[in-house]
Amino acid sequence: STGDILRGEIASGTKLGLEAKSLMDAGNLVPDEVVIRMISSKLDNNKYANGFIFDGFPRTTQQAKTLDLLLNEKETPITTMISLMVDEEELTRRLLERGKNSGRADDQNEKIIINRINEYNNKTAPLKEYYAAQNKLNEVEGIGSVSDISEKLNNVIDSL
């Protein structure tokens, strides 16, 4: 999870964390180069992993293209991409609810949440086309109980 890595950087007070914090608090994406550098070092530090699940990454076409290059170099291309589908009203409700105890500045107010959704629509949603063109897009309905959604995710993974 690139979001978790970034929050870890903020908690440790690193230079990268300091740079990312104001962007994250406002619900804007952090620059591609920053996120790509983080992922690249995770890949290098886990050379013998059997695979990776990326959460919240890639978020832009530039990130997706660079990830393809990095993974092709290692001859371990992306197997599949899963898009969890939830309508904006429900997303806003869930994030405000999480904001009650997450301590995350970006969960606290509706304006910031709307900005995050706009960032998603403008920069991340186009990746569906990018992965569909590679026959790797799976859309899973993200409304329902946790166990129902988990089962749907497992079905996609088991079918590969």
Find the shortest distance in angstroms from Cβ 70 to ligand AMP: 14
Compute the distance between CA of residue 92 and CA of residue 13 in angstroms, rounded to an integer.
29
Find the shortest distance in angstroms from Cβ 112 to ligand AMP: 9
Which residue's CB comes closest to ligand AMP? 3
Among 9, 30, 66, 67, binds ligand AMP (CB under 6 A): 30
Compute the distance between CA of residue 80 and CA of residue 121 in angstroms, rounded to an integer.
21
Find the radius of gyration of the CA atoms of the chain. 16
Give the interface segment with ligand AMP, choosing from 1-9, 81-89, 135-143, 145-153 (CB under 6 A): 1-9
* Cis amide bond preceding 58, omega within 30: yes
Among 10, 16, 19, 23, binds ligand AMP (CB under 6 A): 23
Among 9, 35, 64, 99, binds ligand AMP (CB under 6 A): 35
Compute the distance between CA of residue 5 and CA of residue 104 in angstroms, rounded to an integer.
14
Compute the distance between CA of residue 24 and CA of residue 136 in angstroms, rounded to an integer.
29
Q: Is 28 or 92 the residue whose CB approaches ligand AMP more closely?
A: 28
Compute the distance between CA of residue 144 and CA of residue 115 in angstroms, rounded to an integer.
25
Tell which positions 57-76 bind ligand AMP, by CB under 6 A.
57-59, 63
Give how many residues touch ligand AMP by CB under 6 A: 17
Q: How does 116-127 read in b/e, with b if 16+ C-beta sit within 10 Å?
A: beebeeebbeeb
Tell which positions 74-133 bind ligand AMP, by CB under 6 A.
106, 116
**Which residues of the chain form contacts with ligand AMP (CB under 6 A)?**
2-3, 6, 23-24, 27-30, 35, 56-59, 63, 106, 116
